[in-house]
Amino acid sequence: MPEMLSLPASRTELVLEEIRKAILTRELLPGQPLVEMELAQRLGVSKTPVREALKLLSGSGLVTFSPYKGASVSVVDEDLARQVYDVRLLLEPEAVRRTVVAGETGYLTEATEALDAAAIALAGGDRAELSLLNRRFHRALYSGCGNPLMVRMLDDVRDRAALISVAGWEVNPSAKRELDEHKAVLRAARSGKADRAAELLHKHIAGFVDRLVAGMRR
């Protein structure tokens, strides 16, 4: 995390993004206490935007609050991984299928740009950026499903999924494999093969969480 932030925009948003990135790079480790005063000093802000950012990150699953210990970085365990990926497996393949069926093509550009940037992040070993681009790719595919509630439900687990992705790459470095799987999903979507895109996405999501859980149990 930088020593000081310039703050032309919302302090809370900027602080939130810095803390999110620090969590996803494991600069802030799972279980590590998040002390408002320490974070405020490091970022050159008051405690207020830090407190607000931590509350928002708690809502998205990256931060956990305890009545005795206060805020800390959330820990990924098997139960959390299964819960988040159960939601994704139930909703996301169908959302992607509907996006492809709808016939709009704008999402293909967004997904392609995310994949291209992900290849660069992978080559550079930037796991935090790769995780965020992974999230951007998936959202591009499901956001055109035509069901705003479905989109919001998937959005609600995006940060948790990003945290789980980073944990998964720690126990099983499979980011290159997942990038190739993304390319296959996108090829199917670009060809208008809605059922095939949904099938490949389901296999992709299920395969990742199975590898993660297997790695955790070793």
The arithmetic mean of pLDDT across residues 18-24, rounded, is 89
Q: Are 93 and 203 in contact (CB under 8 A)?
A: no
Structural domains of the chain sorted by starting position, each given as residue range(s) with its CATH number in brackets = 11-73 (1.10.10.10), 78-217 (1.20.120.530)
Q: At residue 99, what is the residue type?
A: T
Matching residue, tokens 């699953």: 61
Indicate if the pLDDT at residue 6 is higher than 50. no
DSSP code string of 198-211: HHHHHHHHHHHHHH
- What is the Cα–Cα distance from 173 to 190, expressed in whole angstroms? 28
- pLDDT tens digits, 133-182: 888 999 999 999 999 999 999 999 988 888 888 887 777 778 889 999 99
Q: Given this model, what pLDDT does residue 4 score?
A: 44
pTM for this predicted structure: 0.83
